[in-house]
Chains A and B, each alone.
Chain A
């Protein structure tokens, strides 16, 4: 009887255990960025123009 009472009260005495905030483990934390894509010939042409403009500008400094 006493043993049964102990187990009973053990079971019911923690009725506020869910006061703890939810655990954070397992939640996502990172947003995923779109994958980069390959440069097109037009993109490379533009990059070359930017580089050339810069080199000319600092040559004239």
Chain B
């Protein structure tokens, strides 16, 4: 009998805990009230105020993007300080896998809110839900720009990234199409707008979502929608000029002027130290001749020149991650161009220039400067040769959004040109495929059927 009991005891103890390996702690960690879900989102929202790298970006991300592009001249980098900034995109490509994971971590939290929040009718509940949709839309937009090949006149057949709309830790989704990602983000932003977020503490109000809709559709080549959203917001946030513009651009931290959304609005000592460090390291890389020549003959009249270029041709501008009216004006003019409304595009271009360049004469179709054949961008988003009007628009965009991390995506959107730089006698090339970052190598190995982007076959 004693032996029998000894045999039964381990049996009972071993078989009584069949769920001990269950990795889903059901009902234990998922928030319940709108307040708790709000806290979940505020973890991300607060990070934006201090400057974070995933959703809106920060000083470091904008600085790194500028280092990958051609506004600064990497061939003139001075060492050893220059060792603290990337030489070219190849230095950072492997690390971009973490950005992918970080974006899906935000999407996971948004999906938790959408799937489990019960208090949907209260004002707080609606603000929380609206913010979750807006944040998820921003994440899909970021994933699209960074991890998918750019729209080139045709979205069909282009790979997107996995679209995940429910919280399921065991799901292993495969890549959607480019168009499905655009549709998902579009619907998320429009749903966010329908919740009409009221409390400013949630930051992603309807205007922010409309701004991102303009960005999303511009990136996806849906120029009619892009122009419509940009035009609507410009009525509410008109362009600034003169001192009002200078004050906005010289305000490192506060979101002033017509900035609709800005990261890094609260100074925190350790982050400020790293941001100041980034700006200081970038002084080791002078502004490129190609960028400076955009101001040729207008250095004194164009307010952006002294804001951008300092003594010894080093950068003079704060690094921003923001959404502001000038970007919408640039989206508007280029969208008009691609829609065949050249007179409207020219008028929008001249309007921006009048707000930046004292005493400037409007361009006419006959006085537009010729295309500079030395520019890295040689074709437009559809692969067509540049015209003087489109080239003038691209140049204006480059001047306006300098040091805001825009030029890298402009190069990607317009032909993904190959560029090279050098260090210690060796030549490093930014190949076309590098504009599209690698999906995490681990995901490719763990998820059957998940397709890696071209160019990343060699891993270790």
Contact = CB atoms under 8 A, between A and B. Distances in A.
A44 to B, nearest CB: 9
B23 A20 contact: yes
A22 interface: yes
B280 interface: no
Contacts of B292: 57
A43 B429 CA distance: 12
B459 A50 contact: no
A41 B118 CA distance: 68
Contacts of B445: 27-28
A33 B433 CA distance: 11
Interface range on chain A (Cβ under 8 Å from partner):
35 or more
A5 B427 CA distance: 70
Contacts of B7: 1-3, 5-6
A45 interface: no
Contacts, number: 109
B425 to A, nearest CB: 6
Interface in B430-460: 431, 438, 440-442, 445-446, 456, 458-460
A20 B438 CA distance: 27
Contact of B93 (A2, A33, A37): A33
Given A19-B22, A27-B442, A54-B289, A6 B313 contact: no
Nearest to A28: B459
B98 to A, nearest CB: 10
Contacts of B458: 31-32
A54 B73 contact: yes
A43 B10 contact: no
Which residue, A40, A47, A54, has most C-beta atoms of chain B within 10 A?
A: A54
- The 4 closest A-B CB pairs, nearest first, are A2-B7, A36-B426, A13-B14, A28-B459
19 contacts: A2-B3, A5-B7, A10-B10, A13-B14, A19-B22, A22-B446, A27-B445, A30-B460, A31-B456, A31-B458, A33-B90, A34-B429, A34-B431, A37-B427, A47-B75, A54-B76, A57-B313, A61-B312, A61-B313
Given A20-B23, A29-B94, 20 more contacts: A2-B3, A6-B10, A10-B10, A13-B11, A13-B14, A17-B21, A27-B446, A29-B97, A31-B97, A31-B456, A34-B429, A34-B431, A36-B428, A39-B425, A39-B427, A40-B427, A43-B427, A50-B76, A54-B76, A61-B312
